[in-house]
Amino acid sequence: MTDSVAIRSSDVKATAAPLTANKAVAGPRVNGRVVVMTLYLLFLMLPIYWLVIMSLKTNTEITSGLTLWPQNLTFDNYVTIFTDRSWYSGYINSLTYVLINTVLSIAFALPAAYAFSRYRFLGDKHLFFWLLTNRMAPPAVFALPFFNLYSAIGLFDTPWAVALAHCLFNVPLAVWILEGFMSGVPREIDETAAIDGYSFPRFFIKIFMPLIASGVGVAAFFCFMFSWVELLLARTLTTVNAKPIAATMTRTVSASGMDWGLLAAAGVLTIIPGALVIWFVRNYIAKGFALGRV
Amino acid sequence: MARITLDHLAHAYKPDPQTPQDYALKEINHVWSQGGAYALLGPSGCGKTTLLNIISGLVRPTRGRILFDDRDVTDLATEARNIAQVFQFPVVYDTMTVRENLAFPLKNRRVPKDRATKRVEEIAHLLDLTPVLSRKASNLTADMKQKISLGRGLVRPDVAAILFDEPLTVIDPHLKWQLRSTLKEIHRALDITMIYVTHDQTEALTFADKVVVMHDGAVVQTGTPEELFVRPAHTFVGHFIGSPGMNILPCRVEGAAAYLGKERVALQRGYLNLPKSERIELGIRPEFVRLQPRGAGLPVWIRRIDDIGRARIARVDLDGRTIAASVPENLSVSGDEASLHLDPRHIHIYADGHLVAGEPLEGRAA
Amino acid sequence: MTKTLNNKAWFLVLPVFLIVAFSAVLPLMTVVNYSVQDTFGNNQFFWNGVGWFQELLDPTTDLGGRFFDSLWRTLLFSAIILLIEVPLGILVALSMPREGWTVALSLVLMALPLLIPWNVVGTIWQVFARGDIGLLGWLVNHLGIDYNYTGDPLDAWITIVVMDVWHWTSLVALLCYAGLKSIPDAYYQAARIDGASRWAVFRTIQLPKMRRVLLIAVLLRFMDSFMIYTEPFVLTGGGPGNATTFLSIDLVKLALGQFDLGKAAAMSLVYNLIILAICWVFYTIMTNVDAKNERAEA
């Protein structure tokens, strides 16, 4: 019966390509992949490169013609930002509300994430959906009501207003990232601790927290990032005292007689917090953006 | 259909191997004859999966050649080798039905549809997959999925050999023997070379006509299950195969006698040319060591007696050496003193782990 | 893992419930309140019923026409960027290096645009695409193509789309990469033994394993592009004319620019309902896929 299907040897003849690597390589020819990757990364890096070199140029050089790297290297733009209060206070304001928001989000999310990872309870599925919709809610819809709300309770133009407003999308995010990490911790640990006579708060802080430390780090990073990159709400809820750096930059853009070098330097400085910690979270980026669902 | 020849084959994962320790697979020469059922037996990390991947073409050997019949396939890609492989964890194409899974290798090789359909049905019948042909492969049990993996190899009529990489790992225990006997049936029905990698001696000994035992990157013995049992070529084989394994006792050999400490054991062969510097050991399987009441034989202390179902095995102490011995059915043991009888036909002498043949004793009474 | 039923867990969830309710429900109630009232200014409001909604959903009125224009514009934008970013993201994920230091490097470089404040993304492209001081604009103009994103609607659209591709394709790629990494080597080896072509490997192994992450990627990209505001606002300010006035930009203009509270509130609610509906569809599909996966694994 084995001969019932005769396949001519030419049917199955494949190219005798020598194997280049010991490990099975499961892709197309290496060259194609390298080309795609190189082009893509080049596409990503060029605009950032342009911003960085512009921040190191004088305005005369920027406007007088195209140069691929600074002819007269200058750090004046950065000096201006670090010495002019109207500039650097923007960074301080931004960092203030971002940090408040991160701490709030994590503090609120920790017990809730624990509940979701360990128990079923009335309405848990609906609560998940509701949290998801808040992550998806357009800030534009909330801009005006937030303006009214925080004016009414006297928090307008304080870092607290922005920090609380950003909780709208950051708390659900933190809940779901933490839940993902907590589900990875076996329940037996909870039970063993209870048998060993640990009270719940002591167990949570002494035993459970160290186990999910990396999860807390990842959640904190993403709360920080999403609060840092958001502008619409931050700008709507502040005027003078708590004005974020992002808003300071927009003012410069619309002003007549552009100070391109200064604008670029301010932009570069906003990229730095992300660039600094990116190395430590590189394996969790997909997880963070996908609400811990990957 | 092919004979597979491994010619001075060796493999190192490091780029520039110098010492033997750098080799995951030490030099091996071996011929797998057409239609044989082989098992590749050894503990994890002994190089058996490396060898399997070299045969299937997933790994290119550092040195040596691999021949299918007389064709050199060393540099040939997997898909050009007519090899089928069943992996440790079942690999099925989740989105396809069982029928589409089985037809997949034929479709890739552009076999005409009617012939492919016919072939798939034959193989499905052989593997008892006919009732589930139209179901999605992802919803089946692990043993069904393994059958599908196997089936994808079998549908190709030109397949030279089927390689199994510990295929029963995730199968429920009560289904293991069932799947294994299916394999035996298929081997008998199709006359295909099968190479079965496992670390389980029962699987190896029940499946294979010939077992290749590997240890530390090298083949230590190739033989029928009986040969491995009766005449282990290496202390590792003696120890690894059998339950409990062979007794390996350090000893001193003088002519036709071995000395276990002060006790003398007569041998049936002479060992005049034993290498001096090496470790000399006496090996004998517990099945050939008989416990008897105190009297003639080696005086021992009984440590404990285990009932392992088909026999009773005594652990005894001889001058500081622990020996496993079989307890005859009619023997009732009292006290902890006893004697051992060693069947001289089954005593082997090993130098540095390797069996030494010895010389027949001419003109002397044994 | 089977979870135990325990309604006391609600005490642990309560803080989150309260703060999110404070941030989401309270403002929405204000919006509902505004949406059914009209004002003559000076905080004098009177009942307007569903008047605003009727006007909003009637394309022949000023408000309705404006709303539907922005809505179609936003939907078109979402469709375009999904059509570009999803295939491109898959391609990049497939092209990721498999091992070595280049993996970490690629991950870090790819993630960088995701972590840049959205207005700075706008600023970067505002500068980069300018004909006089930007590399891209300068190059395109020197190739003999007349390109000016502040004057020509098509150029403005192209620039915004390219900017979004630059900003977010990495997210799709990283998600797909996470999906690809979970495929055991044995699948690729089996496919090689079965003689599968590169395309067949993609269709039968990689794509099915990426289905779940792709669903999440499409959801995230659709939602975020559907409410895009900051980047086009900085780049084009919604112009030239109204060519790039997306729903969010229009809404903010209406609410904070013109303080047309009733109209803005009605628009907010309809906008939110659309998002809610789409969210629900995705959530249902996702739960179904998850349930199916669990059944397959069991």
Chains that touch A (3 or more CB pairs under 8 A): B, C
C205 shares contact with chain B (CB less than 8 Å): yes
B293 shares contact with chain A (CB less than 8 Å): no
For the residues C164-181, what does the mean pLDDT come to? Answer: 92
Between B315 and C60, where is the model more confident?
B315
Look-up: residue for tokens 């999403």? A226
Chains that touch B (3 or more CB pairs under 8 A): A, C
**C196·B104 Cβ contact <8 A:** yes
Q: Which fold has domain A86-289?
A: MetI-like fold (1.10.3720)
Q: Which of A33-47, A193-207, B43-57, C271-285 has the highest mean pLDDT?
A: A33-47
Q: Give pLDDT tens digits for A267-277.
A: 899 888 888 87
| Predicted pLDDT at B38 | 92
Q: Which fold has domain B4-238?
A: Rossmann fold (3.40.50)
Q: Which helix (H) or strand (E) element contains residue C160? A: helix C153-181
| Predicted pLDDT at A8 | 36
**C128·A47 Cβ contact <8 A:** yes
**A46·C223 Cβ contact <8 A:** no
A196 shares contact with chain B (CB less than 8 Å): no
Q: How far is C144 from chain A (nearest CA, A)?
A: 17
| Predicted pLDDT at B363 | 53
CA C3 to chain centre: 33
- Per DSSP bridges, beta strands B280-284 and B348-351 are antiparallel
Closest by CA position to C124, among listed A249, A59, A261, A48: A48
Q: How far is C28 from chain A (nearest CA, A)?
A: 7
**C193·B83 Cβ contact <8 A:** yes
A5 shares contact with chain B (CB less than 8 Å): yes
Query: Poorest-confidence range of A58-62, A111-115, B306-310, B360-364?
Result: B360-364
The span from the CA of B102 to the CA of B121, in Å, is 9
C210 shares contact with chain A (CB less than 8 Å): no
B339 shares contact with chain C (CB less than 8 Å): no
**C127·A236 Cβ contact <8 A:** no
B329 shares contact with chain A (CB less than 8 Å): no
**A108·C115 Cβ contact <8 A:** no
**B153·C193 Cβ contact <8 A:** yes
Sign of the alpha-carbon torsion through A227, A233, A238, A239 = positive
Beta carbons within 8 Å of A88's beta carbon, 6+ residues apart: A81, A82
Phi first, then psi: give them for residue B271, nearest 5 degrees.
-125, 75
Q: Comparing B4-238 with B243-360, is the CATH topology the same?
A: no
Tokens standing for B130?
A: 């006919």
For the residues A257-261, what does the mean pLDDT come to? Answer: 77
Closest by CA position to C191, among listed C96, B157, A30, C199: C199
User: Does residue C38 register a pLDDT over 90?
Assistant: no
Residue of B nearest to A13 (CA): B80
**B118·A5 Cβ contact <8 A:** yes
Q: Indicate the domain borders of chain B.
A: 4-238, 243-360
Chain C residues whose CB is inside 8 A of the A130 CB are 20
| Predicted pLDDT at C172 | 92
Chains that touch C (3 or more CB pairs under 8 A): A, B
Give helix C118-128 / helix A245-254 axis angle, nearest 10°. 30
C234 shares contact with chain A (CB less than 8 Å): yes
Tokens standing for B35?
A: 């239609």
Q: How far is CA C96 from CA A43, B200, C177, C232, in A?
A: 15, 39, 8, 30
Beta carbons within 8 Å of C206's beta carbon, 6+ residues apart: C94, C180, C183
From the CA atom positions of chain C, what is the Rg in Å? 24
Mutate which of A285, A287, A291 to test chain C, going by most C C-beta atoms within 10 A? A285
| Predicted pLDDT at B212 | 92
Chain A residues whose CB is inside 8 A of the B58 CB are 24
Tokens standing for C54?
A: 């009727």
Mutate which of B138, B154, B158, B170 to test chain C, going by most C C-beta atoms within 10 A? B138
| Predicted pLDDT at B366 | 42
Helix (H, G, I), strand (E, B) or coil at C32: helix
Tokens standing for C36?
A: 């059914």
**A164·C23 Cβ contact <8 A:** yes
Q: Which of A16, A22, A24 sits opposite B80 (nearest CB)?
A: A16
Enter the CATH code of domain B243-360: 2.40.50.140
Q: What is the DSSP track for A61-80?
A: HHHH---SS-SS---HHHHH
Task: Indicate the pLDDT class of residue A74, thresholds 50, 70 and 90.
Answer: confident
Q: Which helix (H) or strand (E) element contains residue B258? A: strand B257-260
Tally of CA atoms within 13 A in the half-sphere of C48 that contains its CB? 22
C194 shares contact with chain B (CB less than 8 Å): yes
Look-up: residue for tokens 């079923």? A120
State the average pLDDT for chain A.
80
C-facing residues of B in 134-173 (CB < 8 A) are 138-139, 149, 152-153
Q: Which helix (H) or strand (E) element contains residue A266? A: helix A260-277
The span from the CA of B122 to the CA of A31, in Å, is 42
Cβ count within 10 A of residue A128 = 18
**C20·A141 Cβ contact <8 A:** no
**B156·A7 Cβ contact <8 A:** yes
Q: Counting Cβ atoms within 10 Å, is residue A263 exposed (0-12), middle (13-18) or buried (19+)?
A: buried
Q: How far is C205 from chain A (nearest CA, A)?
A: 11
Q: Indicate the domain borders of chain A.
A: 27-74, 86-289
**pLDDT tens by residue, chain B, 366 residues:** 578 898 888 888 877 777 777 888 888 888 888 888 999 998 888 888 889 888 888 888 888 899 888 888 888 888 888 888 899 888 999 888 999 999 999 998 888 999 999 999 989 998 889 999 899 888 888 888 998 998 998 898 888 889 998 888 888 888 888 888 888 888 888 888 899 999 888 888 888 889 999 988 888 899 999 999 999 999 999 988 888 889 999 888 887 888 888 888 888 888 877 777 678 899 999 999 988 888 878 888 888 888 887 788 889 988 788 899 998 887 777 778 888 888 888 999 998 888 888 887 765 544
Q: Counting Cβ atoms within 10 Å, is residue C2 exposed (0-12), middle (13-18) or buried (19+)?
A: exposed
| Predicted pLDDT at C42 | 60
Q: How far is C178 from chain B (nearest CA, A)?
A: 19
Tokens standing for B323?
A: 């020996």
Task: Indicate the pLDDT class of residue C157, thresholds 50, 70 and 90.
Answer: very high
| Predicted pLDDT at A14 | 35
| Predicted pLDDT at A103 | 95
| Predicted pLDDT at B365 | 45
Q: Give pLDDT tens digits for C8-34.
A: 888 888 888 888 888 888 888 888 887
Helix (H, G, I), strand (E, B) or coil at B283: strand
Closest by CA position to C155, among listed C167, C142, C140, C144: C140
- ipTM for the predicted complex comes to 0.86
Determine the residue type at B6. Answer: L
**A5·B59 Cβ contact <8 A:** no
Query: Poorest-confidence range of A58-62, A250-254, C59-63?
Result: A250-254
Q: How far is CA A41 from CA A181, A280, B224, C93, C102, in A?
A: 30, 20, 59, 12, 12
Cβ count within 10 A of residue B191 = 12
Q: How far is C83 from chain B (nearest CA, A)?
A: 24
Sign of the alpha-carbon torsion through B188, B51, B178, B97 = negative
The span from the CA of B263 to the CA of C142, in Å, is 100
Task: Indicate the pLDDT class of residue A26, thresholds 50, 70 and 90.
Answer: very low
| Predicted pLDDT at C250 | 86
B119 shares contact with chain A (CB less than 8 Å): yes
| Predicted pLDDT at B101 | 92
Tokens standing for A47?
A: 């605009």
Look-up: residue for tokens 């629900």? C280
Residues written for chain A: 294
Residue of C nearest to B155 (CA): C194
Q: Which of B83, B88, B108 sits opposite C196 (nearest CB)?
A: B108
Chain A / chain B CB contacts < 8 angstroms: 57
Q: Which of C187, C197, C204 sits opposite B95 (nearest CB)?
A: C204
The answer to whether the beta carbons of residues B145 and B136 sit under 8 Å apart is: no
Q: Which of B83, B89, B104 sits opposite C186 (nearest CB)?
A: B89
| Predicted pLDDT at B244 | 86
Q: Which of A37, A40, A250 sits opposite C234 (nearest CB)?
A: A250
Percent of chain B predicted with pLDDT > 70: 98
Task: Indicate the pLDDT class of residue A251, thresholds 50, 70 and 90.
Answer: low
Closest by CA position to A30, among listed B121, C263, C100: C100
Closest by CA position to B323, among listed B309, B311, B305, B310: B305
**B122·A4 Cβ contact <8 A:** yes
Q: Give pLDDT tens digits for A120-141.
A: 888 888 887 888 788 888 888 8
Tokens standing for B238?
A: 């003696």
Chain C residues whose CB is inside 8 A of the A133 CB are 275-276, 279
B33 shares contact with chain C (CB less than 8 Å): no
Determine the residue type at A104. Answer: L
Chain B residues whose CB is inside 8 A of the C194 CB are 79, 104-105, 108, 152
Helix (H, G, I), strand (E, B) or coil at A141: helix
Question: What class, spelled out in words, does domain C50-297 have in CATH?
Answer: mainly alpha
C295 shares contact with chain B (CB less than 8 Å): yes
| Predicted pLDDT at C201 | 92
